Amino acid sequence: MLINLSKLLSGDQETITEQVTLEMEAFVSSIGTFPVVEKRSFPLKVSKIGADKFLIEGETAVTLDIPCDRCLTPVKVEIPLNISREYDKNTVEEEAEDENLIVGYNLDAEQLIYCEILVNWPMKTLCTEACKGICKKCGANLNHSSCTCDTVELDPRMAKIRDIFNNAK
């Protein structure tokens, strides 16, 4: 969704408030694609605070399906977005995430939310604090089943070889 800022740029208005409805169906980034399971429209306020400088404010939340860090089960994670971003068209870095936030007369609300999700990305995602994760050997989800990888007795022939190694140390 694009927000027309022409009234700000012409000086007719000092602020513009528009109801934003996200089109984004998934958050696509270098670390993966995460489906958007919930989003809500919200008023976004844009103020002109300098020649090419804007203050962008709004409050919303986006809920994404993010895999648990340990067992990879998708977890619904609500990411609160308390937006208060100063944006100066003249000092924005090239190839920064928000480089094309404002192009011409338009503010790209999708790009804004993308940047906000990125900076608010959860440090860790766990299905439960006690998640046991996945067995590294057999791939079993240890929350649902236990595997015998760690407790399995070594093949007697292997045990002999292991003893030889241990004795050699």
Dihedral (CA of 66, 114, 80, 43) sign: negative
Residue closer to Zn ion, measured from CB, 101 or 127: 127
Residue 119 touching Zn ion (CB under 5 A)? no
**Residue 129 and residue 20: Cα distance in Å, rounded?**
35
Residue 68 touching Zn ion (CB under 5 A)? yes
Considering only the stretches 4-12, 24-32, 84-92, 123-131, report the one whose residues sit in contact with Zn ion under the rule CB under 5 A. Answer: 123-131
Q: What are residue 141's DSSP bridge partners?
A: 134
Residue 135 touching Zn ion (CB under 5 A)? yes
Distances, alpha carbon 97 to alpha carbons 41, 93, 117, in Å:
22, 9, 11
Residue 92 touching Zn ion (CB under 5 A)? no
Cα–Cα nearest to 66, from 119, 124, 134: 124
Residue 71 touching Zn ion (CB under 5 A)? yes
Residue 46 touching Zn ion (CB under 5 A)? no
Binding site for Zn ion (CB under 5 A): 68, 70-71, 127, 131, 135, 137-138, 140, 147, 149
